[in-house]
């Protein structure tokens, strides 16, 4: 829970506060002697983590609603068009804007052919609380597609945000376990959406059911139970 | 004089589908409320605020359609939630809270609704909060010159009046020592049952407030326990060396 609502005055310039931590002005004393001091306060329930050199701190909690943050990879669904840009739904409060030319090798004459309902894997390039989020379909440094772009076919399912972070961790057991059973194409968006593409429908259903079972929100099944669960399905 | 103890508190997280967070809170067996929270989500252009999130609270009674009393409670809860959440981090969005009564109306049910809202907001995890609001009811019985305050009374009709206190536990002011954060009263509602008005001097009111604070502290500890924290963490929390 709000692990240690501890006070921590901010003397250090290098301290970076991640999600779940905020600087708040706290009044000290009362009446005439009061003065305001900046204090670090946890604003979400979860486990307090820090980087190895103790310069970055954050609270690891779980939630279902995505709040856009820059440089995060998300799965979006095109919901409309406004001029040159596409309106993409990424599950946040506001729809995101994707420039029609924000693809690798796109020119005015050679544009990707998107439609309303197309599924995309994109990177959030701009996420500010006062502005609509913006997406791009290429890697920031290399300017190449690198997996971003339209995802054709497949099936999109939802999960909690912590589950998407777990799936993106190379040490997590689930995706390698499923990949060892059948060929699998998966894209994981940090906005709680997963795109799955397999040869047979029952394999897609198996993936979706396993993701739901392993989700910390829906029970948090461990590896042994998942193996048993998969064994019960006729794959 | 002030006495009494809370009925056993039951907290559960229902994981309702279609919303971002939900929680159920009860005082004993006969006073349960369920709350759900969705947010930050898209707001109607008419109700969006350019600098902060808009909070909308819908209160649903146990039976029949919501009426004026529910509207009043809804606007009171809106104020409480706005004091607990940091709304400036999500401008032009909406935080939608729906509270469902699962028992007959009473002052304790109002307290249970506030507690359910707080838990649902923490469960959602997407709205930053400066603290958690915990509410309890303090009953009042007058006997000539003597006034008696009872914490979380079970049968309210036998009393002369009840107070419902909502306290925000968080770092608002002052320093934080020990395991329990400081609390301040953010909302108070009172009602009388015998038709006569009751007057209290500041000293007696302060007694009632402090009794409510002890009750709310216990509610806070149970909430923390239900969210995965341990009420009895070892003393000597590590200094955060940064």
Q: How many CB pairs under 8 A join A and B?
A: 107
Residue A182: inside a domain, yes or no?
A: yes
What local confidence, expressed as pLDDT, does residue A2 receive?
Answer: 45
Dist CA A138 CA A159 (whole Å): 25
Statement to judge: residues A200 and A146 lie in one domain = no
Q: What's the average model confidence in pLDDT over B70-97? A: 96
Residues from chain A that touch B125, judged by Cβ atoms under 8 A, are 44-46, 61-64
For B119, nearest residue in chain A (alpha carbons): A45
Task: Note the Cα A228 to chain centre separation in Å.
Answer: 29
> Does the predicted interface ipTM exceed a cut of 0.85?
yes
**Cα-based angle B195, B200, B205 (whole degrees, multiple of 5):** 120
On whether the CB atoms of residues A185 and A156 are closer than 8 A, the answer is: no
What local confidence, expressed as pLDDT, does residue B242 receive?
Answer: 32
Residue A67: inside a domain, yes or no?
A: no
Statement to judge: residues A54 and A103 lie in one domain = no
Statement to judge: residues A49 and A90 lie in one domain = no
Residue A22: inside a domain, yes or no?
A: yes
Instruction: Give the helix/strand (H/E) hosting A84.
Output: none
Residue A43: inside a domain, yes or no?
A: yes
Residue A212: inside a domain, yes or no?
A: yes
> Which of the residues A2, A9, A62 would you substitute to probe the B interface, choosing the one with the greatest number of B C-beta atoms within 10 Å?
A2
Domains of chain B: 2-227 (3.30.230.70)
What local confidence, expressed as pLDDT, does residue A33 receive?
Answer: 55
Residue A142: inside a domain, yes or no?
A: yes
Q: Which of the listed residues A90, A115, A150 is the one where a domain comes to its end? A: A150
What local confidence, expressed as pLDDT, does residue A12 receive?
Answer: 59
Question: Is residue B34 predicted with pLDDT exceeding 50?
Answer: yes
The tally of CA atoms less than 13 A away on the side-chain side of residue B184 is 11
From the list B15, B21, B91, which residue is nearest A129 (CB)?
B91
Alpha carbon of B89: minimum distance to chain A alpha carbons (Å)? 7
Q: Which of the listed residues A127, A150, A173 is the one where a domain comes to its end? A: A150
Give tens-digit pLDDT for B45-66. Answer: 999 999 999 999 999 999 999 9
Dist CA B227 CA A99 (whole Å): 42
Cβ–Cβ contact B89 with A under 8 A? yes
DSSP B12-33: E----TTSSEEEEEEETTTEEE
How many C-beta atoms lie closer than 10 Å to residue B41's C-beta? 19
**Helices A201-214, A174-181: crossing angle, 10 deg rounding:** 160
What local confidence, expressed as pLDDT, does residue A13 receive?
Answer: 67
Cβ–Cβ contact A8 with B under 8 A? yes
What local confidence, expressed as pLDDT, does residue B230 receive?
Answer: 60
Q: Which of the listed residues A123, A150, A177 is the one where a domain comes to its end? A: A150
Give me the CATH number covering residue A192.
3.30.1370.10
For B40, nearest residue in chain A (alpha carbons): A93
Statement to judge: residues A86 and A144 lie in one domain = yes
Statement to judge: residues A146 and A80 lie in one domain = yes
Statement to judge: residues A88 and A145 lie in one domain = yes
What local confidence, expressed as pLDDT, does residue A29 receive?
Answer: 56
How many C-beta atoms lie closer than 10 Å to residue A115's C-beta? 9
From the list A12, A22, A63, which residue is nearest B126 (CB)?
A63
Statement to judge: residues A26 and A42 lie in one domain = yes
Write down how long chain B is: 242
Taking CB atoms and an 8 Å limit, are B242 and A8 in contact across chains? yes
Give tens-digit pLDDT for B203-242. Answer: 999 999 999 999 999 999 999 999 887 644 433 333 343 3
From the list B20, B171, B227, which residue is nearest A64 (CB)?
B20
Dist CA A139 CA A165 (whole Å): 19
Statement to judge: residues A131 and A159 lie in one domain = no
What local confidence, expressed as pLDDT, does residue A3 receive?
Answer: 44
What lies within 8 Å, CB to CB, of B9 at 6+ separation is B25, B26, B27, B218, B219, B222
Statement to judge: residues A27 and A88 lie in one domain = no
Residues from chain B that touch A218, judged by Cβ atoms under 8 A, are 15
Cβ–Cβ contact A5 with B under 8 A? yes
Taking CB atoms and an 8 Å limit, are B124 and A41 in contact across chains? no
Statement to judge: residues A160 and A224 lie in one domain = yes
Query: Domain total for chain A?
Result: 3
3-class DSSP assignment, residue A131: coil
From the list A97, A99, A94, the residue with the least C-alpha distance to A130 is A94
Long-range pairs, A108-115, Cβ under 8 A, ≥24: A112/A137, A112/A149, A112/A150, A114/A78, A114/A86, A114/A150, A115/A78
Statement to judge: residues A159 and A215 lie in one domain = yes
Q: Tokens 């020119």 label which residue?
A: A107
First to last CA, chain B: 47
Statement to judge: residues A177 and A138 lie in one domain = no
Taking CB atoms and an 8 Å limit, are B228 and A1 in contact across chains? yes
Which A positions 179-208 lie with beta carbon below 8 A of chain B?
Answer: none
Residue A159: inside a domain, yes or no?
A: yes
Phi, psi of B120 (to 5 degrees): -65, -40
Dist CA B119 CA B35 (whole Å): 8
What are the C-alpha distances in Å from B150 to residues B145, B192, B200, B216, B221?
16, 14, 15, 14, 20
Residue A6: inside a domain, yes or no?
A: no
Q: Which domain holds residue A222?
A: 155-231
Dist CA A167 CA B63 (whole Å): 44
Q: Are strands A35-42 and A21-28 parallel, antiparallel or unpaired?
A: antiparallel
Digitized pLDDT (tens) for each residue of chain A, 235 residues in all: 444 444 444 555 688 888 899 888 776 555 555 566 778 888 999 999 999 888 899 999 999 999 999 999 999 999 999 998 999 999 999 999 999 999 988 888 888 889 999 999 999 999 999 999 999 999 988 888 889 999 999 999 999 999 999 999 999 999 999 999 999 999 999 999 999 999 999 999 999 999 999 999 888 889 999 999 999 988 7
What local confidence, expressed as pLDDT, does residue B234 receive?
Answer: 35
pTM of the model: 0.90
What local confidence, expressed as pLDDT, does residue A177 receive?
Answer: 94
On whether the CB atoms of residues B151 and B135 are closer than 8 A, the answer is: no
């Amino acid at each position: 829970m709000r692990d240690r609502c501890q006070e921590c005055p901010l003397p250090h310039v290098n301290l970076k506060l991640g999600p779940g931590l905020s600087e708040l002005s706290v009044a000290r004393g009362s009446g005439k002697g009061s003065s305001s001091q900046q204090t670090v306060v946890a604003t979400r329930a979860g486990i307090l983590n820090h980087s190895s050199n103790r310069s970055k701190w954050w609270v690891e909690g779980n939630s279902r609603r995505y709040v856009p943050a820059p440089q995060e990879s998300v799965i979006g669904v095109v919901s409309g068009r406004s001029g040159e840009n596409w309106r993409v739904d990424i599950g946040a409060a506001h729809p995101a804007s994707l420039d029609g030319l924000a693809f690798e090798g796109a020119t005015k004459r050679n544009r990707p052919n998107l439609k309303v309902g197309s599924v995309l894997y994109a990177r959030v390039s701009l996420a500010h609380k006062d502005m609509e989020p913006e997406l791009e379909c290429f890697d920031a440094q290399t300017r190449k597609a690198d997996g971003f772009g339209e995802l054709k076919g497949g099936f999109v399912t939802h999960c909690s945000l912590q589950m998407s972070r777990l799936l993106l961790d190379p040490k997590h057991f689930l995706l390698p376990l499923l990949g060892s059973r059948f060929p699998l194409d998966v894209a994981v968006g940090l906005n709680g959406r997963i795109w799955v593409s397999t040869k047979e429908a029952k394999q897609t259903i198996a993936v979706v059911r396993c993701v739901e079972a392993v989700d910390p929100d829906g029970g948090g099944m461990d590896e042994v139970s998942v193996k048993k669960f998969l064994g019960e399905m006729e794959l | 004089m002030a006495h009494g103890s809370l009925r056993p508190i039951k907290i559960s997280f229902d994981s309702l589908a279609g919303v971002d967070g939900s929680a159920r809170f009860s005082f004993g067996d006969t006073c349960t409320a369920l709350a759900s929270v969705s947010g930050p989500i898209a707001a109607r252009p008419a109700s969006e605020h350019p600098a902060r999130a808009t909070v909308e609270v819908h209160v649903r009674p146990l039976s029949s359609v919501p009426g004026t009393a529910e509207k009043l409670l809804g606007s009171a809860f809106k104020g409480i939630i706005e004091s607990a959440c940091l709304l400036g981090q999500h401008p032009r969005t909406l935080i939608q809270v729906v509270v469902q009564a699962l028992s007959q109306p009473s002052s304790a049910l109002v307290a249970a609704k506030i507690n359910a809202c707080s838990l649902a907001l923490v469960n959602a995890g997407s709205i930053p909060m400066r603290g958690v609001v915990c509410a309890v009811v303090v009953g009042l019985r007058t006997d000539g010159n003597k006034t008696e305050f009872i914490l979380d009374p079970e049968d309210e009709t036998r009393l002369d009046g009840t107070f419902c206190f909502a306290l925000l536990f968080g770092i608002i002011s002052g320093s934080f020592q020990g395991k329990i954060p400081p609390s301040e009263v953010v909302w108070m509602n009172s009602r009388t049952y015998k038709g006569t008005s009751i007057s209290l001097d500041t000293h007696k009111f302060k007694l009632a407030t402090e009794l409510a604070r002890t009750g709310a502290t216990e509610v806070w500890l149970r909430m923390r326990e239900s969210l995965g924290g341990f009420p009895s963490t070892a003393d000597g929390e590590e200094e955060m060396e940064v």
